[in-house]
A and B are shown apart, each in its own frame.
Chain A
Amino acid sequence: MKRKDILRIVCMVLAFGLVIYTIVSGLSSTLPYQGPTNGQTSRNFFFHVPMWFAMMVMGYTSVVYSIKYLRKMDPRHDVLAAEAARLTVLFGVLGLLTGIVWSRVTWGQALDSTDPGAWWPWEPKQTMALICVLIYLGFFLIRSSFSDPVQRAKISSVFNIFAAASIYPLLYVIPKVLPGLHPNTGGDGSALGTMSPGYYYIFWPAVLGFILTAAWLLDLRGRIAVINYELNSIDDE
């Protein structure tokens, strides 16, 4: 068995086990009281935040492949960068959805369900996260607007560098200076810093579990994309 195959199996087993652990212990274990607003909804912390961690890891993985493409001009790297960017969007959307559900029952508790503000209060961190996902959607818009594969790969790789550079400022820096409802905004301390120790035993395994799930998905999608590329190159020759 090759080293790559062993790594794949370890990644699969860990991802599967850690997500099961997150679901079971995250939803059933007794947690420290989080106040009247959060209450039992604080269990969403084990799903919402790891989605963003996975999104960031995929975004930075994508830019690494883009830089590799610009250095070596190997089309396989471009294909892998696009697949990682696709997963960045997927985990970003999952992060937004878990956030919307959470904000509905905490920030928008007093509002009626028909009020759009109950679902989307245009909170700075929420809005910046949406912009971040939209930037990655722009990556695919750019890719679809070029028919020449070399031009498409070059321009989308450069765009990807700017997209990856925007992740941290959009998700952490700008919300930190603007007043908002989200924890860790408007000069608030980090939500991770104020977390009760009881949360750590579930939170960090959850982060690792979702990152490994993203890596597993990237491995599958990347291999399919590389096979497609190789078959097309045989056809072209």
Chain B
Amino acid sequence: MNRFLNILNGFMAPDPNSFLFKDEKINTVIVVLVIVWTIIAGYMFFTGQKISRIEREVADLKEKYSVREEEKENRIEIQDNRS
């Protein structure tokens, strides 16, 4: 069991407090940059999802609009034929 815990300990993340604020200041810079980039990338990813949804809605809207236009043209044709 102890041996297993020792192996596991080798894979353990370092203590965050000493990793960020004691060992090297560059670690703090790296962590901050990684968090900022992750937030930016996440925002871009969710914006992409929203855009895809809007694209589908716009495609539906265009389809409905073209159907209406066709109906209008048909009505005009029918009226012309009657007259």
Is the beta-carbon distance between B51 and A227 smaller than 8 angstroms? yes
B44 partner residues in chain A, CB cutoff 8 A: 12, 216-217, 220
Bound Cα distance from A23 to B29, whole angstroms: 9
Binds A, one of B1-9, B10-18, B57-65, B75-83: B57-65
**Are A223 and B51 also in contact (CB < 8 A) when A19-B37, A20-B34, A217-B44 are?**
yes
Q: Is A194 part of the contact surface with B, judged by Cβ < 8 Å?
A: no
Main secondary structure of the interface of B (DSSP, over half): helix
Q: Is A6 part of the contact surface with B, judged by Cβ < 8 Å?
A: no
A230 partner residues in chain B, CB cutoff 8 A: 58, 62
Closest to A40 in B: B26
**Interface bin, chain A:** 20 to 34
Closest to A223 in B: B51
**Are A220 and B48 also in contact (CB < 8 A) when A23-B34, A234-B65 are?**
yes
Is the beta-carbon distance between B54 and A8 smaller than 8 angstroms? no
A144 partner residues in chain B, CB cutoff 8 A: none
Inter-chain contact total with CB atoms closer than 8 Å: 48
Q: B64 to nearest A CB, angstroms?
A: 10
Is the beta-carbon distance between A23 and B61 smaller than 8 angstroms? no
Is the beta-carbon distance between A28 and B26 smaller than 8 angstroms? yes
Q: Is B41 part of the contact surface with A, judged by Cβ < 8 Å?
A: yes
Q: A211 to nearest B CB, angstroms?
A: 15
Is the beta-carbon distance between B55 and A23 smaller than 8 angstroms? no
A219 partner residues in chain B, CB cutoff 8 A: 48
Q: Is A7 part of the contact surface with B, judged by Cβ < 8 Å?
A: no
Closest to A226 in B: B55
Q: Is A191 part of the contact surface with B, judged by Cβ < 8 Å?
A: no
- Specify which of A8, A27, A223, A227 is in contact with B30 (CB 8 Å cutoff): A27
Bound Cα distance from A60 to B58, whole angstroms: 30
Further contacts, 9 of them, CB under 8 A, given A20-B38, A27-B26, A223-B55: A12-B48, A19-B37, A23-B34, A27-B30, A219-B48, A220-B51, A223-B51, A227-B51, A234-B65
Which residues on B are within 8 Å of A, measured CB to CB? 26-27, 29-30, 33-34, 37-38, 41, 44-45, 47-48, 51, 54-55, 58, 61-62, 65
